[in-house]
Chains A and B, each alone.
Chain A
Amino acid sequence: MGALPRKYMYIIATLLIIILILGGALAYYVLSPMYTPKKPIVIRFWHAYNPVETEKVAKLIEEFMKENPDIKVEMEAIPYSALHDKLITAMAAGTAPDVVRMDIIWVPEFASIGALLELDEFIKRDNIDLNNFFPGPLETCKWNGHYYGLPRDTNTRVLFYRKDLFAEAGIDHPPRTWQELLEFAKKLTKDKDGDGKIDQYGLAIGGAWPWHFFPFLWQNGGDLLDKDMKKCIINNTEGVEALQFLVDLIHEYKVAEYGTDVWRGFALGRYAMMIMGPWGKPLIASVDKEVAEKKTGVAPLFKGKYAASIVGGEDIVIFRQTKHPEAAWKFVKFLTSERFQLEMFKVGQIPVLRSLAPKLSTDPYYKVFMEQLETARARTPHPKFAQIKEIIHREVEAALLGLKTPKEALDAIAAEVNKILGG
């Protein structure tokens, strides 16, 4: 710094800052009236749509903005795994988005901490016909008797099976009961190259989350909580039997494998059956198009004592921190409209409107999901579900890996969940 006297440095620095500030201000005042005659309301919309869906959503939002020039929607696609934590952080910082498409299972959690805007009055004022929504998805928007969202899309898990492997084993229909499931799985489990190791399993068990375990639990008559939601009953006889059945498939009969990314194994012929949502087919196609198109069959899940599967999907909610509830509500109505739902169905998102049901049943693939939705149940709405689901995963996984007996694992879940319910 030797050449320039300090005095000048000081002046230059000050001048630079002044120029920057003045320049910015000047540009703002000169340019902004030119480009924005009337400042539109900005609605920030966060979602976890996949890239294909996001492209479609972007196009539809363009149309919405053309029809509503006073509203500007800024959407942000956030990976599913990051969305929950990002919402928490944004809320803490007071910068929560206005509208969010969130997993149905998060709604009670966010509603219970007062993060969401109650929609009852909007629904009443605008005569929204709630009966036009499927009851399962609609129920997920409710917390403490109030609506905090509207359903956006729904899904459920059905049985995917390899038609070619079934034919090879001489089986002519997908299993309809647990007995058939076991019997068929035995026939479909093979050591193809004779090295003493199994290289084709009857069934893949794709995880240990409630999402994977609860269909079996419900099919056997068990549940997470009792009717009053005061006590955890997952470790009753029905619950233990259900988990024992899964554990036996893996360890006793050795006809099922517990693994991750099971769709890969399904596409490669390692698994003859798996249980998955409507995104199953595109995933299989990403490995092997021919298997997805010609060799994959879908059917409603086998029954235990009862028929049951699990409801997934997303709801649209408005965050209470929003400064423009009216504009946000207008956008929510658009996202749940028949037109938006039908367009999104083209990229694999199952609509939640009764009025669209006839259109869905024409596709043989989606017809199975629609049929399954009749018996699909929602996970217990509980504000602490994020924590409960971690406990269930930890213990059910331990049982599936043979580290604990089903009884031990479920007792541990009940003990911890009861503690959460009590405190």
Chain B
Amino acid sequence: MARSVSPIILFLLPALIFYFVFELFPIFYSLYISFFEWHIIGDVRFVGLENYLKMFSDPVFIIALKNTFIYTIVTVPTQIFLGLAIALLLNQRIKGKVIFRALYYIPVITSWTVVSLIWKWIYDPVYGFLNYVLLSLGVIEEPIRWLQDPSVALYAVMLVTIWKGIGWNMVIFLAGLQTIPQSLYDAALIDGASRWRRFRYITLPLLRPVIATVTVLLTIGALNAFVQIYILTAGGPLHSTEVINTYLYKSAFSYLNFGYASSMAWFLLTITLTISIIQRGVLSKKIEY
């Protein structure tokens, strides 16, 4: 075996070097930094766990933590529900389903930056498309400040996330639906099972592993949301859309507090890992036909 491993490693070496230098090293270096008061240059002071303890007496961090959870709890189930619904619709014999699939998938392949900038314009209180439509239809009397009103802004941001995420969910669920044997449905039909019962007792249980995977991946994505929020609101107004990532970015790059920012990053990693492990435990049971 030893002889066969060495050429493999040799071929992988360039990629591995990049991985160590640009991924692993910074990740663990940030763990090291998180125990220091670290401002790029100048004196570095060891502070032990101070950065970690500071988080829980920092009101902005508490708000960011709360918003991160709200963001996750709302966007993950909504994306799964809508993605599955559209996948079920497009899995049937309907005209133009290829076009629909493509349409729903376009937001997915568009970069977050582009999507966020487009939505920033859509939400603009004065020149925005959304207010224009709603005002013209008489749905609203006064223009709504979608991204500037603290009671609305977080929902406006979540809507963008859901809008962009549906297509990805749809594709994964479509793939999952294709793996369910048609014979099961045929048998159920002969037994006179209704549409709902076929969905409830065949589709849903057999999609379980797919739903589990999607849930874990979406949760990780939601807990780590950054680009769309940073571009749309940068955490404002009054921290109403502040999530952990936007706050840690500002702490590092605007306030030059890299130690504190690193400790937040590791806290977020811990939460993400814990939740993912619990989700996997709960959701991934063996399926039996």
A residues adjacent to B (C-beta < 8 A): 6, 9-10, 13-14, 84-85, 88-89, 91-92, 109, 113-115, 257, 259-261, 264-265, 270, 384, 386-387, 390, 393-394, 397-398, 401, 403
Q: How far is the CA of A88 from the CA of B42 in the complex (A)?
A: 13
CB-CB under 8 A for A91 and B236, given A13-B7, A85-B253, A401-B145: no
Is B39 at the interface (CB under 8 A from chain A)? yes
Known: A91-B40, A390-B254, A398-B237. Contact between A10 and B7, CB under 8 A? yes
Are B127 and A113 touching (Cβ within 8 A)? no
Q: Given the complex of chains A and B, what is the CA–CA distance between A274 and B11 in angstroms? A: 62
CA distance A261 to B128 in the complex (A): 12
Is the pair A398, B238 in contact by a Cβ cutoff of 8 Å? yes
With A6-B3, A13-B7, A394-B239 known as contacts, the answer to whether A401 contacts B149 (CB < 8 A) is yes
Q: Interface majority SS on B: helix, strand, loop or mixed?
A: loop
Q: Is the CB of B237 within 8 A of A397?
A: yes
Q: In the complex, how many angstroms separate the beta carbon of A413 from the nearest chain B beta carbon?
A: 13
A319 to B204, CA, bound (A): 61
Contact A113 B39, beta carbon cutoff 8 Å: yes
Nearest CB in chain A: distance from B139 CB, A: 15
Other CB < 8 Å A-B pairs besides A387-B254, A387-B255, A401-B237, 9 of them? A6-B4, A10-B6, A84-B254, A88-B40, A109-B256, A113-B41, A113-B256, A114-B41, A261-B124
Residues of A with C-beta under 8 A to B254: 84, 386-387, 390
Query: Does chain A have a CB within 8 A of B250?
Result: yes
B236 and A265 contacting across the interface, CB-CB below 8 Å: no
Residues of chain B touching chain A, judged by Cβ–Cβ distance below 8 Å, are 3-4, 6-7, 10-11, 39-42, 124-127, 145, 148-150, 236-239, 250, 252-256, 258
CA gap between A261 and B258 in the complex, in Å: 33
Residue of B nearest to A9 (CB): B7
Minimum C-beta distance from B57 to chain A (A): 13
| Chain A, residue nearest B150 (CB) | A403
The verdict on A114 contacting B10 (CB below 8 Å), with A6-B3, A265-B126, A403-B237 known, is: no
Contact between chains at A113 and B42 (CB < 8 Å): yes
- Flag if B10 contacts A14 (CB, 8 Å): yes
In the docked arrangement, what's the CA distance between A265 and B125, Å?
12
Contacts of A270 in B (CB 8 A): 126
Contact B237 A394 (CB under 8 A): yes
User: Given the complex of chains A and B, what is the CA–CA distance between A14 and B3 in angstroms?
Assistant: 15
A92 and B40 within 8 A (CB): yes
Closest to A389 in B: B254
The complex places the Cα of A393 from the Cα of B239 at a distance, in Å, of: 11
Once bound together, how far apart are the Cα atoms of A35 and B145, in whole Å?
Answer: 60
7 contacts between A and B (CB under 8 A): A13-B10, A84-B253, A115-B41, A259-B125, A260-B124, A394-B236, A398-B238
Q: Which residues of A contact B10 (CB under 8 A)?
A: 10, 13-14
CB closest residue in chain B, given A94: B41
Task: Tell me whether B237 and A91 are in contact (CB under 8 A).
Answer: no
Within the assembled complex, what's the spacing in Å between the Cα atoms of A115 and B40? 9
Chain A residues with Cβ under 8 A from B40's Cβ? 88, 91-92, 113, 115
> Which of chain A's residues have a CB closer than 8 A to the CB of B145?
401
Contact, CB under 8 Å: B148 / A401: yes
Minimal Cβ-Cβ distance residue in B for A412: B238
Instruction: Give the distance to chain A from B256, nearest Cβ to Cβ, in Å.
Output: 7
In angstroms, Cα B199 to Cα A93, docked, is 55
Q: Which of A6, A109, A257 has the most CB of B within 10 A?
A: A6
Residues in B neighbouring A92, C-beta threshold 8 A = 40, 258
Q: How far is the CB of B84 from chain A (nearest CB, A)?
A: 38
Say yes or no: A114 contacts B42, CB within 8 Å: yes
Contacts of B256 in A (CB 8 A): 88, 109, 113, 386
In the bound assembly, the distance between CA atoms of A106 and B238 in angstroms comes to: 24
- With A and B bound together, what is the CA distance between A397 and B125 in angstroms? 15
Looking at the complex, which one of A88, A384, A394 makes contact with B238 (CB distance below 8 Å)? A394
Contacts of A265 in B (CB 8 A): 126-127
Determine the residue in chain A with the shortest Cβ distance to B249. Answer: A85
Q: For residue A259, which residues in chain B have a CB less than 8 angstroms away from its CB? A: 125-126
- Beta-carbon contact of A91 and B127 below 8 Å: no
**Residues of B contacting A9 with CB < 8 Å?**
7
- B236 near A397: Cβ-Cβ < 8 Å: yes
> Shortest CB–CB separation between residue A355 and chain B, in angstroms?
37
Please report the C-alpha to C-alpha distance between residue A14 and residue B7 in the assembled complex, in whole angstroms.
9
Complex: how many Å from CA A275 to CA B125? 20
Q: Which residues of A contact B39 (CB under 8 A)?
A: 113
Q: In the complex, what's the smallest C-beta–C-beta distance from B18 to chain A, in angstroms?
A: 16
Return chain B residues, CB-CB under 8 Å to A14.
10
Minimal Cβ-Cβ distance residue in B for A258: B148
- B126 / chain A contacts, CB cutoff of 8 Å: 257, 259, 265, 270
Closest to B151 in A: A403
Q: Taking CB as reference atom, which chain B residue is nearest A270?
A: B126
